[in-house]
Amino acid sequence: MKDLVFDLINQEKVRQSEGLELIPSENYVSNAVLKAMGSVLTNKYSEGYPNFKGVPGWDEAKIAEEILPNYRYYGGQTNIDRIERLAIDRACRLFHADHANVQPHSGAQANNAVYYAWLNPGDTVLGMSLPAGGHLTHGAPVTLSAQIYHFVGYGVTDAGDIDYDDLEKKALECNPKIILIGYSAFMKIPDFERVRKIRDKVAAKTSHEILLMADMAHVAGLIAGGIHPNPLDYGFEVMTTTTHKTLRGPRGGLILSRGNVASPLKKPEKTLKNIPILIDRAVFPGTQGGPLEHIIAAKAVAFGEALKPEFKDYAKNIVKNAKILATELIKLGFVLQGDGTDNHLILINTKESFGFDGKIYEKALDLIGLTLNANALPSDRGGAFRPSGVRLGTPAITTRGLGDSEMKVLALWMKKVADICKDAGSEENLTKYSAELETIHDEVRALALKFPVPGI
């Protein structure tokens, strides 16, 4: 008998094909990435690392051919080593890094490994506060890292930008070991140069080195596509990211760094220069066991795709689409946090726009095949059980090829659904509007089917 799981996978294929994905942290991977993920590499254990001593002149053929002694704890690594070295090499090239650790299973694992590499228990990290748009792994009290380290949060201004004065004031007060720029709901371009200057100013007054870390999970694809500044080019030592958002790879994490690259076997002195080696030791054996080599192969394939010239067009189109969608929404009466967007992400203040919260809007849009998520706004101050807004973005729909005219249609559908939510007043009452919602759903389905999902 066929496993029921495959029926459900087929149903998910239908859901993805017939709907439009607006969650800004999701995307559709290529057939090649899917193929690498579903390969026999999942059968292999490979704790440890291949031998990669920095940039070898970017000669892929040489990397794929050379068999080198490694730092692994299992035999049979001939092919695995070369695949992982290709992934490292491509990641370094994409992000101008001296070193890449491609093993983190997720973005959270990547961030935790950096904390473990650089901090001692009780040390302070200064990051964007969660209500301002920061991420759970940047110090939310419910996380393990928040039990071990001390997190201080900086905020955003009313205009939606990082409050750099607050950041500087707090850095001088709390004397952090890490200053962290990163977010999951922020629509501006960070001023990395300014943050580096703040770090240098604070570091001059303190006895310890301060690590500059950027969690660029949301915008890594925009950085790879050359349309967003790269923190490593502005003096940051470390950049973490997931590989599945704008970067359009498999689900996973990645840590890029600048500094000395050497064998992970010997514990180096804890200095900023040694951060790549400290990170390797913090990922394995520090916080993870065996790497997922099928995922690492898929990361290598995705990095290869992102190195191609057409990825630059993709990145440009993500932002173009987001800006058009934001403009159309504003024209229709939507209030957007930060008055629009400079990246792929839009945060709608549904409460201020129409008087209802993000949950009812998320549910109603789900009913017409548009997927996004209810999201707190800085004004909710972290206490909102029912957040005042929704978060959406354009990476996935841009992969499918939607462009200017479709953004206008999307905005109109979203306004129609907003009007329905306003009339309905509650999620339960949405059933009274089933006919209207189903009519829009038919239109969404018809459009979505014109833009096939890769791999389906």
Residue 245 bears catalytic tag? yes
Q: How far is the CB of 218 from ligand DSN (least distance, A)?
A: 6
Per annotation, catalytic residue among 251, 316, 320, 445 = 251
Per annotation, catalytic residue among 26, 35, 44, 45 = 45
Q: Token pair 């960070």 is at which residue?
A: 190
Per annotation, catalytic residue among 18, 26, 44, 47 = 47
Cα(175)–Cα(124) distance, integer angstroms: 7
Going through 57-116 in order, the beta strands assigned E by DSSP cover: 71-72, 99-101
Other C-beta atoms lying within 10 Å of the C-beta of residue 166: 16
Residue 47 bears catalytic tag? yes
- Please give the angle made by the CA atoms of 303, 451 and 37, to the nearest 5 degrees: 35
Residue 251 bears catalytic tag? yes
Q: How far is the CB of 107 from ligand DSN (least distance, A)?
A: 5
Number of H helices, E strands in the chain: 17, 14
Please name which of 375, 372, 356, 360 lies closest in space to residue 428, comparing C-alpha atoms. 360
With residue 392 as reference, give the H or E element that holds it: strand 389-393
Q: Token pair 């690492």 is at which residue?
A: 296
- Closest to ligand DSN by CB, 19 vs 253, is 253
Q: How far is the CB of 135 from ligand DSN (least distance, A)?
A: 6
- Closest to ligand DSN by CB, 50 vs 107, is 107
- Closest to ligand DSN by CB, 26 vs 98, is 26
- Closest to ligand DSN by CB, 140 vs 148, is 140
Q: How far is the CB of 372 from ligand DSN (least distance, A)?
A: 10
Query: SS3 of 396, please?
Result: helix
Per annotation, catalytic residue among 85, 245, 281, 299 = 245
Phi, psi dihedral angles at 4 (to 5 degrees)? -60, -25
- Closest to ligand DSN by CB, 184 vs 349, is 184
Q: Give residues with Cβ within 8 angstroms of 146, minimum separation 6.
A: 139, 140
Q: How far is the CB of 252 from ligand DSN (least distance, A)?
A: 12
**Contacts to ligand DSN by CB under 6 A:** 25, 107, 135, 184
Q: Which residues are catalytic?
A: 45, 47, 215, 242, 245, 251
